[in-house]
Amino acid sequence: MSRPFGVALLVGGIDIDGPSIWCVDPSGTSIKYKASAIGSAQEGAESVLQERYRDDMSFRDAELLVLEVLRQVMKDQMTTKNIEMARIKIHDRQFREYTEDEIGEIIQDLPQMENM
């Protein structure tokens, strides 16, 4: 028996409690998180997020954490051509996509990986 088709979705936004991510699973159930991941590498990504995410981290540290998680699950396949990033900051509440150059700057700031 094959599985029915389904889609999971992460939706980010800012409400009266501050920034959050909502995960909507294929059944339509939605759960609010501070950090989450979906997809084939979800378990590994969420493990890193649980270990490294902090409520008091700077915005730049959060950007670096996002790309560290992607680097871990994508191995050496991560480039500015195959990553898209966007952000919503609390002060302006505007959705904005990062340019390839901005993503490249964050990648350059990533710490070196050990055991690669």
Task: Identify the CA nearest to 21 among candidates 12, 31, 29.
Answer: 12
Please write the tens of the pLDDT for every residue from 70-106. Answer: 998 887 788 999 999 999 988 888 999 999 999 999 9
Q: Which domain holds residue 66?
A: 9-109
Residue 81 located in a structural domain: yes
Residue 114 lies in a domain: no
**Count: domains in the chain:** 1
Tell me if 41 is assigned to some domain: yes
Other Cβ atoms less than 10 A from the Cβ of 21: the count is 15
What is the value of pTM for the model shown?
0.83
Q: Is residue 115 part of a domain?
A: no
In a domain, 102, yes or no: yes
Edge-to-edge order in the sheet of strand 30-33: 9-15, 18-24, 30-33
pLDDT > 90? residue 108: yes
